[in-house]
Chains A and B, each alone.
Chain A
Amino acid sequence: MSQDISIEGDLVTRVEGHGEVLVNATNGELEECEWQVVESPRFFESMVVGRSWDETHHIVSRICAICSATHTMTALKAIEDGLNIDVSRQDRKLRKLVLAGETIQSHVLHLGYLALPDLAGKKSVIPMADTHEEEVKTVIRLHELGNDMLRTFEGRASHGQRTIPGGFTQIPDESELKEIETALENSWDDVEAVVDLILSLAEQLPDFTRETEFISLTHPDEYALYDGVPYSSDTGELDLDNYEDIVNEHVVEQSTAKFTKHNRKSYMVGALARVNNNYDQLSPKAKEVAESFGLEPVCHQPFMNNVAQLVETAHLIENSLDLIDELLEAGLEEQSDYHKPDVDVTAGRGIGATEAPRGILFHDYTFDEDGIAERGNCVIPTNQNHANIQHDMEKMVPTMIDQPQDQIQHTLEMLVRAYDPCISCSTHYLDIEFVENENEGE
């Protein structure tokens, strides 16, 4: 069947990458295949300029609500690097628990609210509350677990207020730690139920492979999320100070988001990149989950990113239990309720990198001698995946060019969704208009 294809979407502006797909073919010949990303420019790198070092993290946390804690944390690491501020061992552990809570919340949101309805052939999670009541309640409980961790350690589920340069304004007491410990211990049945559910639907995930480069943090002693240095599956350890040479940001006309490339024409960041680069450091239960899906490094199937998120959810629960054990064993060093670390403000440039749920995130700030920001730069994981999505599409579309058009569209939607670019972009992607044999322009 040699068909004409014309797929194009509405232009929609959003933070962290609203996208649309453009596919045009005539008589079965592919003419155009483009992953277009349309962000309404929000100019965060300008917003921080002229403002004080102790407001920076507050402003940039608003880049994204789903990963606001990671943006906060990455900004803090950059501020602390630039102003030479120390963070205690205890506070570093507490920050890792903040990140764990946020990543569990984000992964479960993606798997349960986006990917799952798709695999189950539903349009959203809402009708599933009737047809799959138990499954939906399980997903809600796991999602709430991540949010409860954020409330306990960061004070709020999104845009928390407790993490500040040098530490925390407030920390939980031992009884709150124990409550979270109990909730984490009781969550295994829910994790197993979700694993079984996704396993039963895993055959819906398209079988597609394209070799690419994976970039994430890595650390000699732990599965790197908070601490660590950048690492490429192609070239090994990388220098954080020269992160601009890792990401090589460039502007393309099809996108207001900058694209990136490193050793190849594109690279991938996120859960699959981390699992590929640091598989050996996953917790025992996380490895069991990976094995049950046959996920082993190096996996070049982008659709397995969904599975990698599930693997990491198990890892984070186990790892959080270890962190809480360590904190309780050492005894919590108490602090006042309105703690504010002493900071000697000096001029300086600082760079921070952290693993956000969607991949490695870089923040870079320069402050003058009064601590006023002169320059800011944020390289967001979603942007680092755009070029990889584009090249996946270019390889994938010709292999399905004879399939019914709605199937092509559906598979491409699932591809984009597998990268979990940002919840609203992905759902919006489902609204793509499909105009047969007609190209009406934007």
Chain B
Amino acid sequence: MSAKPKVAFFDFAGCEGDQLEIINLEDRLLDLVEVVDIVSFREAMSEHSDDYEIAFVEGSITTQHDLERLEKVRSNADILIAIGACATIAGVNAIRNDQDFEKVKERVYGEDAELFDDPDAELFEAFEKAYPAQAFVDVEYQVPGCPIDGDEFIQMITLLLEGGDPSLPNHAVCVDCKIEENTCTFERGETCLGPITRGGGCDATCVTQGARCWGCRGMVDNPDDDVYEEVLQEYDVTTEQLVNEFTLYWSWERNPEYPAEPPEVQQ
């Protein structure tokens, strides 16, 4: 990698919260541009170049147009890094993956849902399901979370530039919760995805703020073995129950699909 690598940011279907977290680095964003050369970052600049080594990809792939752009980014980049839940595990976009797509369209567009069947209405097209980047292309690294954590993003870049391995930790959010000295969510009588959700970057912020872990960072590598068993045993919960519990973020991850052919477009 060059001394000051060229990096680019791209977004697909999502809320742009991950790029916003990067803008929210405030002063540290100015430090960042000292060590990398940002050649494309739509949320903050109007220049664009296809000459880059590292590509950060945010958002889910939900249309044929998204897929073509993603493939172009992949062919241009040496290293592709997915940032945020929508890009890493399809995030909340995948909630619809478990719903009947005819109903999905009808709920949002009513009678006008038939525009999706009208070849003249070019803009009305969508895959039946939402996918993360890894469903279609190789992804070297990931920064998980909804949204990502700015510090974890900086750590990832620092490791990359120093030639280290920015692979993700593989311990449960429960470990972070212990470090934060939180009262266990189960002890408060609620269900929590902490025991099987990948920790190591969010400081268990949702539990710390009084909510429960929603699973936005995705599952640990092997949810049958890598779980935080102590909590599951104490509160008599199984991994399977948790996987099927509240599935805000896991609809794709529970049944991961890697389509060899582009999914059929509804248009």
Tell whether B243 is near chain A: CB-to-CB under 8 Å: no
Interface residues of B in 104-118 (CB under 8 A from A): 104-105, 107-109, 112, 115
Cβ distance B188 to chain A, nearest Cβ, rounded Å: 6
| B binding-site residues for A, Cβ under 8 Å | 11-21, 23-24, 26-27, 30, 33, 38, 41-48, 62-63, 65-66, 91-93, 95-96, 99, 103-105, 107-109, 112, 115, 120-124, 126, 146-147, 183, 188, 205-206, 208-211, 214, 246, 248
B23 interface neighbour in A15, A109, A169, A251, Cβ under 8 Å: A109
Closest to A44 in B: B108
Tell whether A30 is near chain B: CB-to-CB under 8 Å: no
Tell whether A41 is near chain B: CB-to-CB under 8 Å: yes
| A binding-site residues for B, Cβ under 8 Å | 11, 13-15, 36, 38, 40-47, 49-52, 55, 58-59, 62-66, 68, 109, 113, 123-126, 129, 136-137, 140, 143-144, 147, 155-162, 164, 168-170, 251, 253-256, 337-340, 375-376, 422-424, 427-428, 430-431, 442
| 17 more A-B residue pairs beyond the given contacts A42-B62, A62-B15, A158-B20, with a C-beta to C-beta distance below 8 A | A13-B63, A15-B15, A40-B12, A40-B126, A50-B99, A65-B17, A124-B46, A126-B45, A147-B24, A158-B147, A162-B210, A164-B211, A337-B210, A340-B188, A424-B42, A427-B42, A442-B122
Q: Pick from B115, B210, B248 the residue with the most CB of A within 10 Å.
A: B210
Cβ distance A254 to chain B, nearest Cβ, rounded Å: 8
Cβ distance B127 to chain A, nearest Cβ, rounded Å: 10
30 inter-chain pairs at a CB distance below 8 angstroms, sorted by A residue, are A13-B66, A36-B123, A40-B66, A41-B124, A41-B126, A43-B105, A51-B95, A62-B17, A62-B92, A62-B146, A63-B15, A124-B41, A124-B45, A124-B46, A125-B45, A129-B30, A147-B24, A147-B26, A156-B209, A157-B24, A159-B147, A160-B209, A161-B209, A162-B210, A251-B109, A337-B210, A338-B183, A338-B188, A375-B107, A423-B20
In the complex the two chains form, is A15's CB within 8 Å of B14's CB? yes
A124 interface neighbour in B15, B44, B95, B188, Cβ under 8 Å: B44
Q: Pick from B27, B44, B93, B248 the residue with the most CB of A within 10 Å.
A: B44
A161 interface neighbour in B21, B33, B188, B210, Cβ under 8 Å: B210
A46-B103 contact, Cβ under 8 Å, with A40-B12, A65-B15, A155-B205: yes
Taking CB atoms, residues of chain A closer than 8 Å to B105 are: 43
A59-B126 contact, Cβ under 8 Å, with A155-B209, A162-B209, A431-B46: no
